Amino acid sequence: MFSHLAVGFDGSINAEGALDLALSVAGRLGSILHGIHVIDTAMLEGSFISDMSGAMGVEPLVNLTPQVDSVLTDVAETLRAHFEDRLQDAGVEGRFHVVRGSVAPSVARESGACALLFVGLRGVNAKFHGDLLGPVTERLLRISRIPVVVTPETPSPIARMLIAYDGGDHADRALRWGGELARALAVPVTVLTVTDEEKRGTGLLNRAREYLGEMGLDVAVRRATGRPSETIELMAGETGANLICMGSHSHSKLVEMVIGSTADAVLRKTSVPVMCVP
């Protein structure tokens, strides 16, 4: 199931963290790891070139497109060499793919045949985004057809997983994917449901424990109350989980656009990787 994994790689600190975790998982599972780097064609468009010409004090009529393209290509080849060195050091088989286009759609398309996509929490322009998700990562969470593992700068190897479960369709898929990954990595799982209704919470946890138990997993369950995103973050710390697994969205698209989803809130605050299952 996890024979092919993908990692989006732009050379940023967070992308390096994503590569660290992807190499760790690929090494444990014997997976082929695909590195994906996108030469952003928006940087070759007239408006960008014109702005850059002005910043350099060069006449706007000067065509800098070939020079910019050459620099971006050189950067891609430098990243390829680094990726291949990391593969060799880790003893992992892999391939590096350089594509051109809009970044998020290109990464989503190139990773579509893989089981998991690892990306950094923020990209090369992280300093401009504060505590917000990077725009490429945020868009990938909405368009990727495979689970996306969003990582901070320095992730630890996965030793325990926390699965957030509310009984919805997205949560059911997260339970399945999280269970499959936990079984493949042979790590214990804690299932958390956040609800004020004790009877409902007990029913959800029994359902999750039975499902994961049939997979042969070591399962603990916890019910808690409070704000879901804050409770998930707190419980990850209490249980020692270094991977959180949850559904990408738990609201309608309109609500997500206005207030954001629980997954978005968790990603902005947590210090451990989060696997978001679409």
Q: Give me the residue spans of the domains in the chain.
A: 4-151, 161-277
pLDDT by residue for the chain (278 residues), tens only, comes to 999 999 999 999 999 999 999 999 999 999 999 999 999 877 665 545 455 445 445 455 445 567 777 888 899 999 999 999 999 999 999 999 999 999 999 999 999 999 999 999 865 544 434 444 578 888 898 899 999 999 988 999 999 999 999 998 889 999 999 999 999 999 999 999 999 999 999 999 999 999 999 999 999 999 999 988 899 999 999 999 999 999 886 445 544 443 347 777 888 877 899 999 98
In CATH, the number for domain 161-277 is 3.40.50.620
pLDDT of 125 reads 47
pLDDT of 150 reads 95
Note whether 38 and 109 are within 8 A (CB).
Answer: no
Its CATH architecture, for the domain 4-151, is 3-Layer(aba) Sandwich (3.40)
CB neighbour list of residue 46: distance below 8 Å, 6 or more residues apart: none
pLDDT of 44 reads 63
pLDDT of 251 reads 47
pLDDT of 256 reads 46
Note whether 41 and 102 are within 8 A (CB).
Answer: yes
pLDDT of 138 reads 86
* SS3 assignment, position 156: coil
pTM score: 0.87
Q: Which residues of 35-72 are buried (b: 16+ CB within 10 A; e: fewer)?
A: bbbbbbbeebeeebbeeebeeeeeeeeeebeeeeeeeb
Q: Identical fold at 4-151 and 161-277?
A: yes
pLDDT of 253 reads 53
Rounded Cα distance, 117 and 91, in Å? 20
